[in-house]
Chain A
């Protein structure tokens, strides 16, 4: 456990001693802020119109019409931002030779991988943490459902965890950060759109494709639903990603 924390701490520190952390957090905050602002204006417009019609604003739902689309949009930003976090994790260590330090220290491969995963997760959590400011504003001037906000954040964390574990795997396959980043982005995008063709295929393929889509499982979280089905899915993807990373690191050893 100490080793895992030591490595997670080192990872987190290295994100913040290079521009990566600041750029990732900065741009995420900027984009999220923009989405928040845009949706707030649209939402205001709608509620004013409905109010003007004499409905008293009772038909607008801040949870469904503001918070839900906001979380769904945030999940799209992740596709672009998370590859930036994971692309260097292994690639850079392999390129600079520091992987030799880790692999010849009395630390297991799993400890290294989990440490790196937690380091990336910590940065990701910090990134999400910034967006709490917007939520505070909503709670101060509106009456959103706390449960929806909570499950939304849980969903974002879990989905991000899946992306990060896949990103780690890809990073462990190459020495080149750019290759790692590009491939990760492509894979994320594929995992996102994989069920777009679902409705044109047979029932079996359709359910498989829908099941595979990482973002599809996120939908229920934005409605305030915490379904074990999705939790199992996310935790499976995360563990599988980390497991494959461990295999990849081990294979690399044999190849030299």
Chain B
């Protein structure tokens, strides 16, 4: 549905997006993840036809955004980082205007506007001026705007930015509900958002794609070894020695102690589940096993992992910058 090939965008000497390629299948939600200034917004702006790429091409819903911009735009809904609202228009007037320029047929406009207001829960603000809306409402009116012409492709730039927790949950539900009918790209720098909403993640840093995968795969792929966390009440005896003898365990480290209860981190060989053996070893000695859970690398850790790895990749910059880059490398 969306095909990006060797896309590069330069602003003068600055390369904002550097030769990135990825595809999004129909009905998929793709998370676009990266630190601020990584090139997310630029990529999205190219996809929506707001600006042309310096090199490479982007095909949206079967239309090249440069060759057939109008056809591509007809099938794309876009929510920019700041919702593009006219402060002096009421929500209803604004959405009616959007319906007109997005090419919704005259007879369907009113019903469509009402429909979108209900869908994004802004109908109680229908006659309020856009300039007087709270951040949450602005964002949702922006979303209603993007959905207005029922586009095949939805491009959402940080759709949950500035919302309160309840609104964030609602918006995520709304977005998940849209998948299937719509193909969605959403950008964010909030990591849990990706694991909760997206089927696939593109991590981008300094204009380059550093990883593309499902959130689950990313988590497991980047885990070098399996790590378990145990809490054992052993009355002061040496649990670590026992745990180390369990087959498959490569490392045991005590992490925290609360009176007699000691927490341990246990690493094992990759791909081996040692939970049963660990539990048996503890229980058979009559100790209390209070907690046993796998420790997964969180998306935050993965993210830091891939993005800092990336900084080490280019040849070391000259003079003082070298030292600083050196520190960043894990």
Listed in ascending order, the chain A residues whose CB lies under 8 Å from chain B are: 2-3, 6-7, 10, 13-14, 17-18, 96-108, 253-256
Contacts and interface: CB of A to CB of B under 8 A. Distances in A.
B101 A102 contact: yes
B73 A105 contact: yes
A3 to B, nearest CB: 6
Interface in B111-169: 145
Contacts of A103: 49-50
Q: Which of B9, B74, B85, B102 has the most CB of A within 10 A?
A: B102
B70 interface: yes
Ranked nearest first, the 3 interchain pairs of A and B with the lowest CB-CB distance are A101-B84, A6-B100, A17-B88
B51 A14 contact: no
Contacts of B103: 106
A186 B89 CA distance: 32
A3 B101 contact: yes
Given A100-B78, A255-B11, A14 B86 contact: yes
Given A104-B78, A108-B70, A256 B84 contact: no
A99 B85 CA distance: 10
Contacts of B50: 100, 103-104, 253
B84 A98 contact: yes
B22 interface: no
A254 B78 CA distance: 19
Contact-residue size bin, chain B (C-beta under 8 Å from the other chain) = 20 to 34
B260 to A, nearest CB: 60
Contact of B87 (A96, A108, A255): A96
A232 B45 CA distance: 40
A6 B97 contact: yes
A6 B85 CA distance: 16
A108 B145 CA distance: 19
B76 interface: yes
B48 interface: yes
A3 B76 CA distance: 17
B42 interface: yes
B109 to A, nearest CB: 11
Given A14-B88, A97-B82, A6 B52 contact: no
B34 interface: no
B263 interface: no
B98 interface: yes
Given A17-B89, A104-B73, A254 B102 contact: no
A105 B103 CA distance: 9
A105 B71 CA distance: 10
30 contacts: A3-B101, A6-B100, A6-B101, A7-B101, A13-B93, A17-B88, A96-B85, A96-B86, A97-B82, A97-B84, A98-B85, A99-B84, A100-B50, A100-B78, A100-B84, A101-B80, A101-B145, A102-B101, A104-B49, A104-B50, A104-B76, A106-B71, A106-B101, A107-B70, A107-B73, A107-B101, A254-B52, A256-B16, A256-B42, A256-B51
A69 B98 CA distance: 45
Nearest to B102: A105
Contacts of A254: 51-52
Nearest to B98: A101
Q: Which of A3, A17, A99 has the most CB of B within 10 A?
A: A17
A6 B52 CA distance: 26
Contacts of A10: 86, 89, 97
A255 B12 CA distance: 8
B56 to A, nearest CB: 15
B84 to A, nearest CB: 4
A189 B15 CA distance: 42
B105 to A, nearest CB: 10
Contacts of A102: 101
Given A103-B49, A256-B42, A2 B100 contact: yes
Contacts of B11: 255-256
Nearest to A105: B101
B182 to A, nearest CB: 16
A246 to B, nearest CB: 14
B55 to A, nearest CB: 13
Given A100-B80, A104-B76, 18 more contacts: A3-B100, A10-B97, A14-B86, A17-B88, A97-B84, A98-B86, A99-B84, A100-B45, A101-B145, A104-B48, A104-B73, A105-B73, A105-B101, A105-B102, A106-B102, A253-B51, A256-B16, A256-B51
